[in-house]
Structure 1
Amino acid sequence: MCRSSSVSSRAEPRGRLLLRGRSSDPRRSVAVGTPGVRPGPRRPDRGDLLLKREVVEFRDAVEPLVPVVQEFAGSREGWHKEALPCFRDVADHMQRTNTEVHSLDELLNSALDAHLARVGTWQNDDMRRISSWAAILATPTLIAGVYGMNFTHMPELGWVYGYPLAVTVMVVAAGLLYRAFRRNNWL
């Protein structure tokens, strides 16, 4: 009688230690978030990185065993015929475990890559906002800088409405830039 099925059921709780407090199916816990809500940039927490490390260690432990166990699954001279189905069963379990570990590793890689892509998008959004505000503040600074050079032959300096006109131009230019950036979703 082959005992690999009973070994498999006893080994399963140890395999779940790999997940350490996570749901029984880690594929369900990868896509967490509320649709339509933009969360702030979140670093992968320590548990995510430890899970990735444990999966890599487990993969490195299981992968070299697959060809060795598959060699035992082939028929050999001098071996009992009753043992062959047990070795095939163990080889099948090992192959299935190897496949699942590889799929979990790829899933975690995809999740970390998606996180890095989201961080890049957040950084681009932040840079657009910073650039927009810099442009809005640079326009009045430019106008004030020209008027601050103290030229004597500027027609607006002797005019009664020269100062209010310069301030109005600054406010209107900044307002138009704000409106344009807001319309293009930069702010």
Structure 2
Amino acid sequence: MPLPNEPTPLPVEVLDPNAPEEKTLVPLKIEDWLTVTVMALLALITFSNVLVRYFTNESFAWTEEFSVFLMIVLALVAGSASVARNRQIRIEFFSDSGSPTRQRALARFGALMVAVLFTLIAVLSVRTVYDDFRYGETSPGIGVPQWWYTIWLPVLSVAIALRALGLFIRRGRQP
């Protein structure tokens, strides 16, 4: 039995990595496969650049630019998966203490704030994409249109916001 001021321990099923995941409307396999694909592309691009640089003392100019883009995509996709799985960063002393009603309320508040933040990021980044398109901005490394890269920020931000709303709804349905 925990002391009165001590946080309640997490249920065993939360700590068990083999526990079944919560059901979501959109399967979490999407983020999982995107993560695997992006990581494979990053490894392939980096390895090929190392080989070319080693054997020819030259390097592919596009690899750094494309790798940075893929790392940003990877961070956003992983953020979407962590929100959907309720694994985002939190101060567990506050989030896991108190009554189950308080814990659920804090979980819902956190999910709602994540949804608001990423909706705001999506709305504001649309302007960046529009400016890149309107002014014909090109990428510094290979000269492709910059909006090819920036279009993914609002798209993936909307995905994170929707995952957060899904978490908000699922936490509201908990007994």
TM above 0.5, yes or no, is no
TM class by shorter-chain length?
Answer: 0.3 to 0.5
Larger radius of gyration: 1
TM-score, normalised to structure 2, is: 0.40
- Compare relative contact order (CA 8 Å, sep 6+) and give the higher one, 1 or 2: 2
